[in-house]
Structure 1
């Protein structure tokens, strides 16, 4: 059986193709095919493209049905003829097409940082500015006078306060030294008192032991002494003597004589430490009256700092007013709220400028696309007919409700190298590149079947139909990446009206409908195509 190609149908060369060798109903299908071709030639040229697609489908169906009839009626010993396509090798790219709004990544509102009259406003809303452009200028006459007065006041105040601080510095040194000595004494006294308390506890513990265990051991010693006196053998006497010595040693361990001596020495040392602390405390009190108090020192310091701050502030205000207000980056002025002749105060809102060198497209991503989008993925962006590249830089972690109530997640695409053709606030189209497999085996989406066990297809191998279990990868609208299950040169059966059974005999037909000779490789069997489309996995 032989099929018509799309090219031959469009060029009207079907007469040169020959007629499939079929009988009965198969011949009727061929007659219908010829009627379809004649109909196409008579139609309006505007509808020709659509009708050609219909004709292709009709021809393919007729050819397949003809093959079925021919196989069943004539009993071809080589098996049923099946249309096949060669496994291709090329690029499969999975993309997501979407749209969003062009926005600036950096929007700055400028506020006045000085109180001064406005001399001139140099921009209006909608103007484009470059980094460093002067947006506003001030009148600085009053600020220059304030600056000179503040410098004189700061110098006079500093000299007066310095004299007061030098007068009290000596007494302050004595006060600091004695205070440090008191801290040392307090630490030593606390440590020694802790050790004395421990000795007291040990003495009390030993006395308690002696009142019970000591009494018992003394009783045992008296009994052992009596037994020792009643025996005559030296060996027996030595035994009782050893027993008595062991008990006396245990009693001596719990004696309090050494502990009481250590307690006496510790109390003497504690008394000396307290005397030293008392002397340092007297020095501290005597020097305190001759130094500046903390409040006095704080007042002197604050007064000096205040004079310095006033002078610095006056100088800073004059400097800021002299510079005016300049753009921190290239962008577009979106709002102007100041007028010439007005006097600003710190915090007065002046301008709003949107950065035009750092631009993004903000998207609303549905839950169906969210599982594929990741930060760092590249994207192609089209804005007002101009094309740019970009990258996904942010995906919000909280969904919002769209106008129709659907939950969507905001995402952002940073635009690389923006130019003057970009307009903020308009719609942009974006194609996000999810994944790409290069020079991989691939099949048209419609040839990949699915079941509860996974994906599969049928191939004709050595005249026999085989079912191949497939491991698939990414997919576009047209092609699916084949990771395993097929090899270069395999011929995959196209969608057929015949119920395919693994092991049945078959003759593979190429893309032109001609039988394929075993071990021969056609020019279409291995190709290097590139496929880029928007899609997800094949539907089951």
Structure 2
């Protein structure tokens, strides 16, 4: 008998415990504890992220010029610092030297011809006196005037020929001057082709640049080209140097898109606009050719915003939960731009309202909640 009583008491206690647990769960479910944050204006920034390549800012290439002849001598070596106008290499051109010699002979011949005609003209006065004694003054003057006119014509032709030869001389001297190639910029000789003297170099003979002056080159879409402007701040990152950032600014946005041979005639191909970004940090630990990510800040303004995790989506609608009089109220909102942490709220919320951060899936409209 006593045994049955104790069993009954145990069952009753178990029932009471289960009922208590269910009641506790129900109460706890209806009164979720939530984190909230006040709705207020925050600084919102718009960003565009595009890949880029670290490049030398100012560089010059010297290519082989077969029409100039053979490379006779390279006047610099790798690592040399050069100024604008510094001689870099010299060509030799036997054909050009032969033309110079032939031109000198032609010029000498032209001057001899001019001197000869001028002497003949000067001798006509004496000749006219001799003819006057023989055929009379009128006949003598008639013959000499005819000869003088012819000699003056010959002198004009000789002078024209001499001027032509002088123009040829200027052209030849200019070509000879171009046989010595000078640097177009100040910088350092980064590389010299070993095969330059053999005349078989496919690329540049010399490469000159300033290694400490770097920029980042990249391309942006036609949509982004409307937002990205010169002087906008840029944050640069590299997978090769993790955890490191550099700052810079947009220095150039091309007015025209880049020419892509593969895209010609293809209306569906993407249009890309080249851009350049300067780097403020001169001690950047990266080398030309490194791939970088350019995080370009396109705008900066004040706007109502809430944490990204506070905004939920249902089909095409966005909503948040605000706490009013101890209850979670679901509100439809219209969103705008987003940053790394916040989402702009264009409509649906007012300054000062308290929004639930990271609402759980159990949270329902009008459910009672406790704020932390």
TM-score, structure 1 normalization: 0.42
Identify the residue that residue 488 of structure 1 maps to in structure 2.
351
CA separation in 2, counterparts of 1:397 and 1:416?
A: 23
1:400 CA drift (Å):
6.9
Identify the residue that residue 39 of structure 2 maps to in structure 1.
87
How many residue pairs are counted as aligned between the two chains? Answer: 293
1:480 CA drift (Å):
0.7
Identify the residue that residue 217 of structure 2 maps to in structure 1.
361
Q: Which runs of 5+ in 1 are unaligned?
A: 1-22, 29-64, 72-79, 165-289, 292-298, 402-406, 514-540
Q: Which of 123, 145, 165 is the aligned partner of 2:77?
A: 123
Which residues of 2 match residues 360-399 of structure 1 at below 5 A? 360-362=216-218, 371-372=223-224, 375-376=228-229, 378-382=233-237, 385=241, 387-391=246-250, 393-394=253-254, 396=258
1:382-419 Cα deviation digits (max 9, x unpaired): 46657351427356476979xxxxx8876644231585
1:413-447 Cα deviation digits (max 9, x unpaired): 4231585865322x232232254444432111122
Identify the residue that residue 315 of structure 1 maps to in structure 2.
173
CA separation in 2, counterparts of 1:68 and 1:400?
A: 62
Q: CA 1:354–1:122 in 2, change beyond 3 Å: closer, same or farther? A: closer
SS of match in other structure, 2:173: helix
1:459 CA drift (Å):
1.8
CA separation in 2, counterparts of 1:329 and 1:489?
A: 61
SS of match in other structure, 2:29: helix
1:216-257 Cα deviation digits (max 9, x unpaired): xxxxxxxxxxxxxxxxxxxxxxxxxxxxxxxxxxxxxxxxxx
Q: Which of 295, 300, 318 is the aligned partner of 1:455?
A: 318
1:490 CA drift (Å):
0.9
Is 2:205 aligned against 1:351?
yes
Q: CA 1:398–1:118 in 2, change beyond 3 Å: closer, same or farther? A: closer
Is 2:53 aligned against 1:101?
yes
Are the equivalent residues in 1 in contact too, given 2:217–2:276 (CA < 8 A)?
yes
Are the equivalent residues in 1 in contact too, given 2:216–2:277 (CA < 8 A)?
yes
User: Structure 1 residues 309-318 or 112-121, which shifts more?
Assistant: 112-121
1:282-317 Cα deviation digits (max 9, x unpaired): xxxxxxxx99xxxxxxx9998556413321023224
Q: Which of 65, 68, 87 is the aligned partner of 2:29?
A: 68
1:475 CA drift (Å):
0.7
1:86 CA drift (Å):
1.9
Q: More helix per residue: 1 or 2?
A: 1
1:450 CA drift (Å):
3.2
Identify the residue that residue 479 of structure 1 maps to in structure 2.
342
Q: CA 1:482–1:355 in 2, change beyond 3 Å: closer, same or farther? A: farther
Q: CA 1:431–1:305 in 2, change beyond 3 Å: closer, same or farther? A: same
CA separation in 2, counterparts of 1:348 and 1:83?
A: 67
Are the equivalent residues in 2 in contact too, given 1:460–1:508 (CA < 8 A)?
no
SS of match in other structure, 1:95: strand
Are the equivalent residues in 1 in contact too, given 2:77–2:189 (CA < 8 A)?
no
SS of match in other structure, 1:416: strand
Aligned-residue Cα RMSD (Å) equals 5.1
Q: More strand per residue: 1 or 2?
A: 2
Which residues of 2 match residues 511-526 of structure 1 at below 5 A? 513=372
Are the equivalent residues in 2 in contact too, given 1:468–1:485 (CA < 8 A)?
yes
1:160 CA drift (Å):
6.2
CA separation in 1, counterparts of 2:270 and 2:186?
A: 33
Q: Which of 270, 287, 296 is the aligned partner of 1:423?
A: 287
1:491 CA drift (Å):
0.4
TM-score, structure 2 normalization: 0.56
Q: CA 1:420–1:332 in 2, change beyond 3 Å: closer, same or farther? A: farther
Which residues of 2 match residues 224-263 of structure 1 at below 5 A? none
Q: Which of 111, 119, 134 is the aligned partner of 2:87?
A: 134
CA separation in 1, counterparts of 2:94 and 2:259?
A: 53
CA separation in 1, counterparts of 2:191 and 2:272?
A: 24
Are the equivalent residues in 2 in contact too, given 1:380–1:432 (CA < 8 A)?
yes
Q: Which of 21, 24, 30 is the aligned partner of 1:24?
A: 21
